[in-house]
Amino acid sequence: MCHTAMLFWNTSRLAVVRMKNGSERQLALSYYGGFFSILGNDGNFVFEGESRKQWEQAFSKTIVRETFIPKRIERNKQREAAAER
């Protein structure tokens, strides 16, 4: 569903999605709120109902647990090592 109301973007992640017809689109994915925009198009799209639950589970697993947290841990280790010098 596309909403034209203003949504609060609190950082985002860029992604490339391959559509059923084989074309590719670049997306900006919000970390919060279950919504995204297609770069170059107006408006935002919101996941609702069961699809929102599925989206949040997938986003949490692939972005937060497998990407964000490991990078945060590595950054913290680097900062601790630099502080010890």
Q: What is the pLDDT along the chain (85 residues), one digit of tens a residue?
A: 444 455 555 556 777 888 899 999 988 887 777 788 888 888 888 888 888 888 788 777 776 667 777 777 888 889 998 988 8
48: closest CA among 35, 32, 64, 62?
Answer: 35
pTM reported for the whole predicted model? 0.51
Angle at 48 between CA 14 and CA 69, to 5 degrees: 40
pLDDT computed for residue 23 by the predictor: 92
Class of residue 10 by CB neighbours under 10 A (exposed 0-12, middle 13-18, buried 19+): exposed
Q: What number of residues does the chain have? A: 85
